[in-house]
Structures are given as structure tokens and as C-alpha cells.
Structure 1
Amino acid sequence: MNTPIAIFLVSFFIFLVNLIRLRNSNRNKGVSLPPGPTPWPIVGCVPEMWRNRPAYKWVHRVLKELDTDIACIKLGNVHVIPVKSPEIAREFLKKNDAVFASRPVTMATDILSSGFLTTGVVPWGGQWKKMRKVLIADVFNHSMVQWLLGKRNEEADNLVKFLYNQCSSNPNGLVVNVRTAAQFYSGGVMRRMIFNTRYFGKGRKDGGPGFEEEQHVSALLTILLHVYAFCVSDYLPWLRVFDISGHEKKVRGALKIIKQYQDPLIDERLKEWRDGRTKEPEDLLDVFISLKDAYGQPLLSGEEIKAQITELQLATVDNPFNAAEWALSEMLNQPELLKRQKKN
């Protein structure tokens, strides 16, 4: 009685293996992946990448050793395709943009977007379409840019005042950290446009950031540093519970600081609109709260508003100081350009 069952099970197992092989061969017929390092079973090249951090330097080394402009690196069950050729990059970003436009699902993006409620880090889908429409129609339009011009001008004036006070307080002159000044100018502009305030706390008399603003901007930059950084659990999800690199702890800690300052302001403003104490928008937070759907109900939930406001600040806090540093570096590299700017 047992012999026929054993024969059947063995035959079924052999049939199943052959079926899987046939399916894989048909799937890969005529298709060859770019060259890459030989992966380990299950974990792929994760151990090698982990040993050779930072990840981006290891990836560049792989491309150089393979003498290729495109490679395929298997991390867990994910095929990562790095490219260094402008022509191939254009294939990804222009010709096949619709195929590669979606964002990857990572631990950090899941946390900072409160479960993918925002726009910039959210995979393509219904929520992405909804929030993208809100930003294009109600935030990033010409009339809104003009409406917020006065707030941006106020912060530009405050930056000049702060730099003047810093220099005049020292008769021998003072070296100003451009990165720090630009960082907190960016933070001040966004706080003014979103919350209609420069400070979360009392601020400083010389126009500079207080402890609260410094902590808030530092937390934003911490998240930016980790948002798309290499994290083992993004490729081996079963390791997330161990948080091997402390990646998740850092992201959650930084987001906690951000929410500590922002969420009470947002909750209070939501209550003002519900109670009828506020009826006309004065800043971007009011604009988000005042949006209605086709049935006259609030278009965005409180969690969506909080997550999108955090993402807006993440998207804007580093660009100005990066541009300022780049411009200064170029002028130092080109003395003639620096000389012309001094004359102006």
C-alpha cells in the first residue's frame, strides 16, 4: 500500500521540479540580465555589500571591475540595476519613465509617510494620484506662489538681519557658516509659509534659530540621510525586527522630534477650522485643511496633512544650502568668476 503512494509522491515531485525549470527557461528565453557579482542563495549579495559599506562605493567598484556601464546586483529577492552611462540613464528616465516612475517601498519611506499617505516617496497608485493632484492644483500653482511671496520676502530680510547682527557683534569680523545660515533660512521660509510663524519657541533676538528650530532642522536632515540609504531589512524583510544597523531607530527618533513640534500646531489649527474660528486660509496649512471633496467633506485627513507637511519640508530644507555651497565652490575654483562677483 505504501509503495504506490511513495512512487506517486516522487513522480509528482519530479514533475513539479521540471515544471518550474520549464517555466523559468521560458521566462528568461531571449532575455539576459546585465552582468553582476555571483549572488548567495536567499540573501543574494547583501553580505558582500554589508562588508564593503558605504554601499554606493561598493556599487561603483563593481561596475569598474566588471568594466560595464550597467550591472545587475541581486539583494535578497530584489534585482538592483545601477547604471553610469548617460545614454542608458536616459533610457530609464525618459524613454521608459512610465515603467520606472514608481518609488521603491522601503522601511524609511513607510515610516516618514505614515504608511504611504504622501506624494514624493509613495509608490504609483490611487493615493499618489490624489496627493499629486492636490499639490499641482492647490500648492504649486502661480497664484499660490504669488500669494506666499510676502512670507518669503520676510524670511529673506530676516536672513540679512541675522547675518548683519552676527558680523556687527564682533568688531574684528566673524566667519559665517554658510551651510548653517542657509539651512535655517530654508527652515524659516517653510515654517512661515506652512505655519505662518518663524519659530516653534521664543527664537532669538538677533533673528537666528532657537533650540527648537535647530533640533527640528537637524531631525529633517537626519531623515534625509537615511530615507534611501542602504538598509538590510529593505531587501531581507525578516531581519527588520532586529534593526541590525539601527536604521529604523534613527528614523523613528528623528520623526518623533519633528512631530513633537509640528503636530500640536496642526491639531490646534484643525480644531479652529472645525469650531469655525478660522474661515479664510492664511498659510499652506490652512489651504490643506480647507480643501473639500465633491460632497463638501474635508478632502484630506489629519494624518494625510501631517505626513504631507513633513514631506514638503524634507523636500525643501537641503536644496538652498546645497546650491549656495556649490556656487561658492565654483567661484573658488574659478578666480575670475569670484573677482567679478566681488565687484558686483
Structure 2
Amino acid sequence: MIIYKKGNTEAMEINKTSLRINLLLLLVWAVAAIIFKKRLCFKKRTVPLLPPGPMGYPIVGCLPQMMKNKPTFRWIHKLMQEINTEITCIRLGNTHIIVVTSPELAREFLKKQDIIFASRPNCMSANLTSNGFLTTVMSPMGHQWKKMRRIIVSEVLSPAMHERLYEKRCEEADHLVRYVYKQSQNPLAKGLVNMRVVAQHYCGNMARRLVFNKRFFGMGTEDEGPGLEEKEHVDGLFTILKYVYGFATADHLPWLEVFDLDGCKRVLKDAIQC
């Protein structure tokens, strides 16, 4: 009888201990559930909704529609007209592209909330064009960009440097006038001058003169116009401007850069080699 009572007492103590542990676990689980629910409700209240936009596919978003409808900016404008909105959100891969057509909304992005939207995206086209973000214009905002910006402002864009290069700018302006005059007197062109091409090469001549201290890489032409090297250089620059930040697939899904589905990487490499 004594042994039976002792075993019964031990069993009761074990049951009480197990009950306490179960109650403690249940209490912890209930508290955790309440905290999780409150945080979830708080998150739902604080996170604002995104602007209206098309429903994309999982992972890739609206990239298939973007690749199917070229050029991309026309597809975006058409999409906004169909939705009848001045602001829309288009998900391309893991990136949400916010497009606005209203001047008031654009001022909100560029003036009031400029700190949030001032940085440049880290994408394939910018990385390839700047040789690994070595330029100030395309580098994402950060400590390195601030150091480069400080040097650019103090050394390159300073009033002293601007005054120092005044004569070179005047020489290029005089050369522009002479070239346009000779083109207008050319009987083969019948007095017609393509000012778009002239303006493009004037910008190229100015940049080469300020950076390399020479107008042409080669000898130029007899009428003081650009030669073959200068034409390739300017064409390459405008090709880069066309494709950088140009909605390339690899810009939004970096793991697709190897496949180069839309050919942007190949075109940029060819333009950079020019």
C-alpha cells in the first residue's frame, strides 16, 4: 500500500508539472499571436497603397508586356490613357516604376520628395556605360558619390574653370558659324542645312575641345566638318543616351543579363567601343 501511494503521488506531481508547462506554452502562444496581429494591423494602417496599374505576372511583373510593346514609353502613355489616370505603378521584376504625367505630381517628386527619389538606380546599362559606376552622373547616391560630387563642383564646374575655358567655347562657336555658312553655300545641298546634325556635332566638338583640347580625332573634312571618327563618336554617344536607363530586361532582372533577351547589352558594348 505504501508503494502504491508513493507511485500515485509521483504521477500526480508529474501531471501537475505537465499541466503547468502546457498552460505556460499556451499563454506564450496567445501573447505572441496577439502581438503579431497588432503588428500586422499596424503595418496595414501605415503602409500606403501603390498607385493604380496593370496586374503583372509573378516574379517578372509586366516585363512580357513591355517587351511585346515597343517603344516602352508609348506603351506606358497608352496604358495611362486607358486607365485614365495621371499616376500609375508598373512592376517590372522587383522594381516598381511610378509614372506621372501631371505637373503637380511631378513637382511633388522632384521638389518636395526629392531626397527619396534623388538617387540613380543600380542597373546593367548604367553600370556598363560608366565602367562600374566610375562617373558621378550615373553613380547611386552614397558616400562615394558625395566625394565625387564635391570634386566636380570645386574643380570642374567652378567659376574659375568656367572663365578659363571661355576662349575655347568662343572658338567652337565661331567654327559653328563658319561651318553653317559653308554648308549653306554648298551647291550640292541646295542651301539646306540639317541643323539637328550640326547641333549634335557642335556638342561633340565642344566636349572634345574642353576635355582633349582638340576639335577632331582625325583630320576632319575640307569644309571643316566632322570626319568619320567624329561621326562614329557622336553616333555612339547618342546610342548610349538612347539605351541607358532604357527599360532593358537586365536592368530589372539582373539574372537575365547573361541571356541579353532584348539585345541592349550588345548594343551598348558596340556603342562604347566607338
Common fold by TM > 0.5: yes
Q: Which consecutive segments of 4 or more residues in structure 1 shift more than 6 A?
A: 19-25
1:214 corresponds to = 231
- Residues 143 and 172 of structure 1: CA distance in aligned 2, closer, same or farther (over 3 Å): closer
- Residues 191 and 172 of structure 1: CA distance in aligned 2, closer, same or farther (over 3 Å): closer
Residue 151 (str. 1) matches residue 139 (str. 2) = no
The aligned amino acid for 2:273 is K
Residue 95 (str. 1) matches residue 112 (str. 2) = yes
Say how many residue pairs are matched.
239
- Residues 26 and 41 of structure 1: CA distance in aligned 2, closer, same or farther (over 3 Å): farther
CA distances 1:302-344 after superposition (whole Å, capped 9, x unpaired): xxxxxxxxxxxxxxxxxxxxxxxxxxxxxxxxxxxxxxxxxxx
The aligned amino acid for 2:158 is N
CA distances 1:119-170 after superposition (whole Å, capped 9, x unpaired): 1111101221121111111111222111101111111111122222223342
Counting only pairs closer than 5 Å after superposition, residues 56-71 of structure 1 correspond to structure 2 as 56-71=73-88
SS of 2:247's partner is: coil
For residues 195 and 151 of structure 1, what CA distance do their matches in structure 2 show?
Answer: 12
CA distances 1:90-134 after superposition (whole Å, capped 9, x unpaired): 111111101110011121100111111111111101221121111
Moved more, 105-114 or 25-34: 25-34
Kept in 1: contact 2:248–2:264 (CA 8 A)? yes
1:287 corresponds to = none
Shift of 1:22: 8.8
Percent of paired sites with the same residue: 47
The aligned amino acid for 2:172 is E
Q: Unaligned stretches of 5+ in structure 1? A: 1-18, 258-344
CA distances 1:62-105 after superposition (whole Å, capped 9, x unpaired): 22222222122111111111111111111111111011100111
TM-score, normalisation: structure 1:
0.65
Moved more, 166-175 or 232-241: 166-175
SS of 1:159's partner is: helix
- Residues 169 and 88 of structure 1: CA distance in aligned 2, closer, same or farther (over 3 Å): closer
Kept in 2: contact 1:117–1:127 (CA 8 A)? no
The aligned amino acid for 2:45 is K
For residues 172 and 48 of structure 1, what CA distance do their matches in structure 2 show?
Answer: 44
1:225 corresponds to = 242
2:68 corresponds to = 51
Shift of 1:28: 3.7
The aligned amino acid for 2:74 is K
SS of 2:96's partner is: strand
- Residues 66 and 23 of structure 1: CA distance in aligned 2, closer, same or farther (over 3 Å): farther
SS of 2:52's partner is: coil
Say which of 24, 45, 49 aligns to 1:29.
45
For residues 22 and 251 of structure 1, what CA distance do their matches in structure 2 show?
Answer: 50
User: Whose Rg is larger?
Assistant: 2
2:22 corresponds to = none
Kept in 1: contact 2:90–2:96 (CA 8 A)? yes
SS of 1:79's partner is: strand
For residues 219 and 172 of structure 1, what CA distance do their matches in structure 2 show?
Answer: 26
Residue 119 (str. 1) matches residue 136 (str. 2) = yes
For residues 172 and 62 of structure 1, what CA distance do their matches in structure 2 show?
Answer: 43
Q: Unaligned stretches of 5+ in structure 2? A: 1-34
Shift of 1:25: 6.2
- Residues 167 and 89 of structure 1: CA distance in aligned 2, closer, same or farther (over 3 Å): closer
For residues 184 and 89 of structure 1, what CA distance do their matches in structure 2 show?
Answer: 32
The aligned amino acid for 1:219 is G
The aligned amino acid for 2:177 is V
Shift of 1:244: 0.8
SS of 1:121's partner is: coil
Shift of 1:24: 6.8
